[in-house]
Structure 1
């Protein structure tokens, strides 16, 4: 009989456990989605543009040269100049920071407030759920852009107030999403076991219920950033968002609309910036939904 030495090397031909975590699996699924990867590349490009773009552009955003007003795109002015002779390329680059700031901050605020209200409504139910759910229904009863216009009209036109208004109108979307997820999560056995050992509601909510309810919020948050950028541009176009001379994309479109025929580049490039940014977030959001939602997987 053949004996195996105690210190013999392990058999490398034995099968290795290939188990991967859910987030690693989601990342693999996301990478396989070429359209989603393109969207992520667009988003990363504009994020980098927002951070490092203002450091490398040579023209000042408010540097007026009336002798060069409404100049077509050229080697000196890649995107041309506006009616004040300002370099449009510099203003579009600086506008990326403002638009992304509004998109991210408004959605972060919506996620925080909406998640807190949604988790309270879904976990405690009854009267608390009724009050919070009816509050969401009231907000959703108004068209989002009209409600945002009303809020900014009350607070006063400014980029800060536009950010607040956009955050408020998106709260019900996250609140209802979290509420529905919490209603299913709180029925799980591990939640029942946590209650049985006397875990407090606060610890239970923030240690178990909320972390297991956040997957759909990640997807919705990505798509909501795209909507927030459009809403900020709409408010800026109406004169209720960023005020002159801030280089916000919607405000740039509003200032350039009378030059659409004679100097179309004054509107084309800010419009393209809005379109590409929103497209990037939408494509990436769709890819995240396919990667994170078990129902979307084959």
Structure 2
């Protein structure tokens, strides 16, 4: 009887291994699919580009006066016209991007660091520490933010640096309460309980476990807070409590041009558009980050 030969062929499986994607990589993929977020990011990068390369891009200096060209309308020589001192408005807006972005980024960074530290302490330790910090936040939030900023600048004195400090102070409660609520949720997770069971120090738990798992809301809040900080800096500058002359801060440019609204409207229109576009860019980017990083927003 002939021997049966059995051909053993490899069986191809249609089951593919699931690709392991990190949460940050998945968030980046989701962010790239959001067209409005990409538009906002493009606007932000455009103004960052202007701020970084201002000395190369700007056609004139920030305080190059020429009274003969006073209140000159937009032309091929001065694309956005000139102000009441004959200074090129385009150049001042370009240099003003440095000031607005600098104030926005540094003030939000300071408020995020201080607010996150206080929020982590309040949420993790609780009891009287939580009560004390939360009541301080409640008192600060009871005042309108711009009035609190004016009060701080009035005590410290009008200047760009003091305006930055004031904006940082008024944004601390927003970060603190946000991180406190996040910590209250994270500290109940099993891996935190396990870390405590093996005798891990509180400082290590806070730095290596709780803080990294609370970064997503900090990033989202930070991107949105920069837009608010730029508006607040412009408001303080408009009131004469922010950047002082001849610094080309956008709010100060609006204040100096308000009396020429009818005679030379371009002196107010273009600085106002700069503020609007920058704030719009950060808001769109912040909304995109929230949609990408918040699990509740994902479908």
TM bucket, shorter chain: over 0.9
Q: Deviations over 1:221-254 (max 9, x none)?
A: 1000000000000000000000010000000000
Distance (Å, rounded) in 2 between the aligned partners of 1:11 and 1:50: 57
User: Which residue of structure 2 lines up, in the alignment, with residue 159 of structure 1?
Assistant: 160
1:62 counterpart residue number? 63
Q: Counterparts in 2 of 1:121-132, with a 5 A limit?
A: 121-132=122-133
Partners of 1:221 and 1:66 lie apart in 2 by 42
Do the aligned partners of 1:54 and 1:90 also contact (CA within 8 Å) in 2?
no
Structure 2: gaps spanning 5 or more residues: 1-5
Correspondence list, 1:272-287, <5 A: 272-287=273-288
| CA distance in structure 2 between the partners assigned to 1:2 and 1:51 by the alignment | 69
**Cα deviation digits, residues 68-103 of structure 1 (max 9, x gap):** 000000111011000000000000000000000000
Paired position in structure 2 for 1:2: 7
- The residue that corresponds to 1:212 in the other structure is 213
| Partner in structure 1 of residue 3 of structure 2 | none
CA deviation vs aligned residue, 1:43-75 (integer Å, no higher than 9, x gap): 111111110133222211100000000000011
Deviations 1:187-240 (A, max 9, x none): 000000000111001011011011111211111110000000000000000000
Residue 186 (structure 1) aligns with: 187
Alignment of 1:182-261 (within 5 A): 182-261=183-262
Helix, strand or coil for the counterpart of 1:263?
coil
Give the TM-score taking structure 2 as reference length.
Answer: 0.96
SS in structure 2 at match of 1:214: helix
Question: Which residue is 1:168 aligned to?
Answer: 169
Counterparts of residues 98-177 of structure 1 (less than 5 Å): 98-177=99-178
Separation in structure 1 between the aligned mates of residue 55 and residue 228 of structure 2, nearest angstrom: 24
Find the aligned partners of 1:32 and 1:181 in 2 and give their Cα distance.
27
Would you say 1:264 and 2:240 are equivalent positions? Answer: no
SS in 1 for 2:53: helix
Verify the 8 A CA contact 2:104 2:227 in the aligned structure 1. Answer: yes
SS at match of 1:59: coil
CA contact (8 A) 2:50 2:57 kept: no
The residue aligned with 1:73 is: 74
How far the C-alpha of 1:22 sits from its partner, in A, is 1.0
How far apart, in 2, do the equivalents of 1:199 and 1:139 lie?
A: 35
8 Å Cα contact 1:157-1:240 kept in structure 2: yes
CA contact (8 A) 1:114 1:173 kept: yes
Shift of 1:3: 5.4
Q: Does residue 1:31 correspond to 2:36, yes or no?
A: no
- Give the deviation of 1:32 after TM superposition: 1.1
Q: Assess if the C-alpha contact under 8 Å between 1:43 and 1:280 holds in 2.
A: yes
Q: Quick check: which has more Rg, 1 or 2?
A: 2
Q: Distance in 2 between matches of 1:244 and 1:263?
A: 20
Structure 1 residue runs of 5 or longer lacking an equivalent are none
- Tell me how far apart the structure 1 counterparts of residues 102 and 263 of structure 2 sit (CA, whole Å): 32
Which consecutive aligned stretches of 4+ in structure 1 deviate over 3 angstroms post-superposition? 10-14
Contact 2:100 2:233 in 1 (8 A): yes
- Normalising by structure 1, what TM-score? 0.96
